[in-house]
Amino acid sequence: MSKKLRPVLIGALGAASVAALVITTPALSSAAPAPSAASVSAVKAVGDLSVAAKKEIAMKLVSSAENSSLDWKAQYKYIEDIGDGRGYTAGIIGFCSGTGDMLELVQAYTDAVPNNPLAKYLPALKKVNGTDSHSGLGSAFESAWKSAAATTAFQTAQNNERDRVYFNPAVSQGKTDGLSNLGQFAYYDAIVMHGPGTDHSSFGGIRSAAIKKAKPPSQGGDEATYLKAFFAARKIVMNEEEAHSDTSRIDTEQVTFLNAGNFDLHTPLKWKVYGDSYTIN
């Protein structure tokens, strides 16, 4: 994950944060005006990326950009320092030692399985949080990560943290905004790269910038117009950092699906990321 440095993830945006982002709509009464055609269309377009088949597609799409592979399950054991100032990047969603989510993952794993290969590195992870340091970690930690990744327990822990912090909040907010599967995926891909939060360079900040330019379907807006505004807002943030400056995960992936009118993310899907071609049949 290419998240910005921050002391620690609050996790799942937090109930209060999610609630703050929710756009409430008064219930229609018999005296209320009939909904517009655009509103009716928006309601019909709302998707559910959490459906197993769609979620699998989302995992593969993100993996194509994060790991240049559709085999996202092969990434449980992945760990390296990619030189982006976030320390180690590892696992299925790019948990980082410098941004807090790796620490939270290892803590959750240790709570479930106290005697695990990574438990002894918790003090070191706490010390390096917020930095790119490998102090107390190094090759021994890398080996321990790969050893843990061979177990069902650590794979489950990675899945749970991915869902808690990234996937579930993105899908929930997407549904609240009246978005299709494509729109919900756009949110998920953004929160993976930029992290949860409300500042300018986080997911919440990007969403806020987009809403200033176009209304989401939940507010009677057109989804295609809104997603273009979201993509534009996200690209501004991506271009502010060299590590994010290649925007092909938007330009030749998500925009490709949008231009094809594939809001449901139905297969076959064909796209490119960083010039590499991918297909899901």
Report, as residue numbers or ranges, the catalytic residues.
66, 84
SS3 93: coil
Tokens (6 digits) for 275: 């010039």
Name the burial class of residue 259, with classes exposed (0-12), middle (13-18) and buried (19+) by CB atoms within 10 angstroms of its CB.
exposed
Query: Cα separation of 70 and 132, whole Å?
Result: 28
Q: Are strands 79-81 and 269-273 parallel, antiparallel or unpaired?
A: unpaired
Q: What contacts 24+ positions apart, CB below 8 Å, involve 17-22?
A: 17/196, 17/198, 17/204, 18/169, 18/172, 18/173, 21/173, 21/176, 21/204, 21/207, 22/173, 22/176
Q: Are strands 95-96 and 88-90 parallel, antiparallel or unpaired?
A: antiparallel
Residue 126 CA, chain-centre distance (Å), reads 23
Residue bearing tokens 């959490």: 50
Strand partners, 272: 277
Residue 279's H or E segment, with its range, is strand 276-280
Task: Output phi, psi for 263, to 5 deg.
Answer: -70, -20
One-letter amino acid at 75 equals Q
Residue bearing tokens 């190094």: 138
